[in-house]
Amino acid sequence: MPDFQLFIGNKNYSSWSLRPWIGLKQAGIPFNEELVPFDFKNGNPDFRPFSPTMKVPILKDGSLTVWESLAILEYAADVFPDASLWPGDVGLRAQARAISAEMHAGFGALRSACPMNMHRKPGRIAIDGKVRADIDRIIDIWRECLDRSGGPFLFGGFTIADAMYAPVVSRFATYLLSDDATVSTYSSAMTSLPAWIEWQEAAVKEPWVVEEEEV
Ligand SMILES: N[C@@H](CCC(=O)N[C@@H](CS)C(=O)NCC(=O)O)C(=O)O
């Protein structure tokens, strides 16, 4: 019997935590949430007892520890095969894995210039060509997937690929990064999810301000 415990950081800022959290919630997989607030100035000492990497998210299932957001979601998909966390078709599953891996490994310019920050009043900031290239590539991915699937999510129903891109949806909204119709349609589908609303409501109530994440 799985006994999932998901350690996450601040909901306002922790984009990597949002990924497995929204994936598990949306799939109806039960888990206990352990929110451990960031303390970057002191090296996040409270992460030491549960995190081998000193980062979040971390999933514990009994004596098993899984780190890295994508590995956590892969594990959940293995343990709960009926949750359809990946597309059923082998080719589409390969595509979903490819764009999830691209997100996990890439888009560093966008991630560092535009940190997830749900508290922040929406407004534009100056962005350079590398950030613009990340934005353009993400819009191309979303457009190709949505054209093929017909939406509302990248592969029709919600999958790990949507969970991996969830923080990008938040960044696009906070920093007003695109007027593209694809972004607006996909963002509406994502931000209407009950799991999204639950996370965001909790995020904006958090009292903590993390200077390192404010741009
Ligand atoms: N590749 C990791 C990234 C995890 C990560 O960088 N998490 C951030 C919070 S969003 C963190 O814990 N940072 C603490 C630190 O770098 O000291 C994943 O996918 O889980």
Is ligand 1 within 6 A of the CB of residue 206?
A: no
**pLDDT greater than 90 at residue 1:** no
The stretches of 80-118 forming alpha helices (DSSP H) are 90-105, 108-113
pTM beyond 0.95, yes or no: yes
Taking the C-alpha atoms of residue 55 and residue 57, their distance in angstroms, rounded to an integer, is 6
Taking the C-alpha atoms of residue 117 and residue 15, their distance in angstroms, rounded to an integer, is 9
Is ligand 1 within 6 A of the CB of residue 9?
A: yes
108-167 pLDDT, tens per residue?
A: 999 999 999 999 999 999 999 999 999 999 999 999 999 999 999 999 999 999 999 999
**pLDDT greater than 90 at residue 212:** no
Q: Which domains does the chain have, with CATH numbers?
A: 4-83+199-213 (3.40.30.10), 90-193 (1.20.1050.10)
Place of tokens 């990924």: 19
7 CA from centroid of ligand 1 (Å): 12
Q: Which two tokens stand for residue 189?
A: 């589908």
Taking each helix axis from N to C end, the angle separating 160-174 and 69-79, rounded to the nearest 10 degrees, works out to: 140
